[in-house]
Amino acid sequence: MKKLDQLNFDNTFSRLPDIFHSRLNPTPLPHSYLVSFNASAAELINLDVTEAERADFADYFIGNRLLPGSEPLSMLYAGHQFGSFVSQLGDGRAILLGEIKNSNGEYWDIQLKGAGITPFSRNGDGRAVLRSSIREYLCSEAMHGLGIPTSRALCIVGSDAEVYRETIESAAVVTRLSPSHVRFGSFEVFAYRDQHEPIALLADYVIAKHFPDISDAPDKYLRFLNEVITRTASLMAQWQAVGFAHGVMNTDNMSILGLTFDYGPFGFMETYDPGFICNHSDHGGRYAFDQQPQIGLWNLACLAQALTPIIAVEEAQEALENYEPTYFEHYTELMGKKLGLTNVTKEDASLVTPLLEMMRASQLDYTNLFRSLGLFKFAPDERSSELRDQFVDRAAFDAWADVYRTRLQSEPGTDEERKARMDKVNPKYILRNSMAQSAIALAERERDFSEVDRLLALLSRPFDEQPEMEDYAAPAPDWARHVVVSCSS
């Protein structure tokens, strides 16, 4: 493991022409202090975890000192925001320090979010607040624990500096790790400018770094688009299966590698509601939970349009037609596994749809219901009243259970073996807004970050029974209904 001054930087993105980025250093913040450090993420960049104990550690990860070998920059991109195109966005409060190549040959961007004003800040202050930093830190690690592709979070560093949002809050910087921060909007900006050479140059860069097996293919750009389509379809299926809503699925927030990132007004759906809107700023429900798969395709169409200078329009359109079947294949497989099925077929969708409708009608907790479904017994005389009694229409559940039981006849193993399979895919713990808010309140009120660390540990093992943490699996308390997250979160 390496010390801070030994990290192996190899800054490939900074070697692209200046048209892709602007070079600048983070703006220092006074009175820095470490909020939380994630040892698991530190392993990704071969960082010795004892380095977090250094007196100057916080200064490196709030922008007061530069890591040796870093070449700070902010990235240029455009994007469709709530359906409307904005021709220039870019990193308005994030600064990419560089890329670290670890001992496995993997590259990890290391980015400070909230590091100060950049040329792309558009009258913003370039800062993030402690509240939003804690939310991103916890959610990115929660998603990783769930096995969903995501950026990672190394640490949060706070400051006594004041930042104005709806009220006066304290500043903070979250250090984000990701294989890449290139996004759909990174291509859109050059398509809008009718600059075709940068589109090809950026595509070549991404392909060489992340899809080297297609680098020499004569149709490499089309294959690249197909890869992005497949990854995005898979990601959307994983979001839907676990009940995650991103909240701001603008094209500038869509990863070219099919990762979840740019966490803002996200939310894990609690009571099952397909129209769940997690973003208080989303007045029209464009990014409601049940709209996410469709928006994924819409955003891919924007990317495909941006790539038409290097891909034939007809080929791009044909590639987009693969999205829906790919999405439904992944979603059906994931939902079948949540039901304990080992050989999932497309016909198994007929089990999922009525179950979800009964959950909606009974206003059941999405995560807890699927977890408790592991208690389902195959033998008719061993029905679990605890499971059945959760449903308002018990007769409807009985009818569904009979169909489910018939389907299970073709599955191997015992009830206990099926429950073990289901517990590996149906989490017991998710990051509920009430949990994040409790950690934020304690941090803001008393500068006590113990709940942040407690949740970090809990959410790293979301499928495990953790008896001492049982209360965190309960539905949110009534006060949590009043927790509002928006685009400022």
Mapping DSSP onto H, E and C, the string for 273-289 reads: CCCCCCCCCCCCCCCCH
Distance of alpha carbon 186 from the chain centroid: 19
The annotation status of 93 as a binding-site residue, yes or no, is yes
43-63 average pLDDT score:
98
Residue where a domain stops, chosen among 124, 154, 182: 182
Q: Across-strand partners of 157?
A: 34, 173
DSSP state letters, 467-478: GGGGGGGSPPPG
Based on the fold, state whether residues 382 and 400 are members of the same structural domain. yes
430-450 average pLDDT score:
97
Based on the fold, state whether residues 314 and 380 are members of the same structural domain. no
To which residue do tokens 């104005």 refer? 164
The annotation status of 69 as a binding-site residue, yes or no, is no
Q: What band does 488 get if pLDDT is binned at 50, 70 and 90?
A: low
> Which residues are identified as catalytic?
252
The annotation status of 223 as a binding-site residue, yes or no, is no
Length reported for the chain? 489
Based on the fold, state whether residues 137 and 25 are members of the same structural domain. yes
The annotation status of 126 as a binding-site residue, yes or no, is yes
Query: Is the pLDDT assigned to residue 487 strictly greater than 80?
Result: no
Measured CA to CA, the distance from residue 120 to residue 118 in angstroms comes to 5
The annotation status of 247 as a binding-site residue, yes or no, is no
Hey, is 271 helix, strand or coil? strand
Percent composition of the chain: helix, strand, coil (DSSP 3-state, to 5): 45, 15, 40
To which residue do tokens 């100060």 refer? 116
Beta carbons of 81 and 51 less than 8 angstroms apart: no
Query: Is the pLDDT assigned to residue 382 strictly greater than 70?
Result: no
Q: What band does 380 get if pLDDT is binned at 50, 70 and 90?
A: low
Give the closest residue to 376 by CA, choosing from 417, 345, 335, 342. Answer: 417
Query: Is the pLDDT assigned to residue 309 strictly greater than 90?
Result: yes
Query: Is the pLDDT assigned to residue 107 strictly greater than 90?
Result: yes
Domains identified in the chain, total number: 3
The annotation status of 428 as a binding-site residue, yes or no, is no
Measured CA to CA, the distance from residue 13 to residue 17 in angstroms comes to 9
> What average pLDDT does the structure give for the chain?
96
Measured CA to CA, the distance from residue 235 to residue 262 in angstroms comes to 15
Q: What is the DSSP letter of 179?
A: S
| pLDDT tens digits along 179-223 | 999 999 999 999 999 999 999 999 999 999 999 999 999 999 999
Measured CA to CA, the distance from residue 209 to residue 199 in angstroms comes to 16
For the four alpha carbons of 237, 238, 239 and 240, in that order, the dihedral sign comes to positive
pTM for the model stands at 0.97
> Has residue 431 been placed in a domain?
no
Residue where a domain stops, chosen among 397, 423, 449: 423
Which of 381 and 96 is assigned the larger pLDDT?
A: 96
Residue where a domain stops, chosen among 139, 156, 182: 182
Query: Is the pLDDT assigned to residue 472 strictly greater than 60?
Result: yes
Based on the fold, state whether residues 11 and 137 are members of the same structural domain. yes
> Has residue 199 been placed in a domain?
yes
Question: In the numeric block, which tokens belong to residue 370?
Answer: 């699927």
The annotation status of 92 as a binding-site residue, yes or no, is yes
Measured CA to CA, the distance from residue 115 to residue 171 in angstroms comes to 10
> Has residue 475 been placed in a domain?
no
Q: Measure the CA dihedral 249/252/255/261, to 10°.
A: -60
Q: What band does 383 get if pLDDT is binned at 50, 70 and 90?
A: low
Strands (E), 2-62: 21-23, 33-37
Based on the fold, state whether residues 114 and 252 are members of the same structural domain. no
Q: The domain containing residue 119 runs over which residues? A: 4-182
| pLDDT tens digits along 245-300 | 999 999 999 999 999 999 999 999 999 999 999 999 999 999 999 999 999 999 99
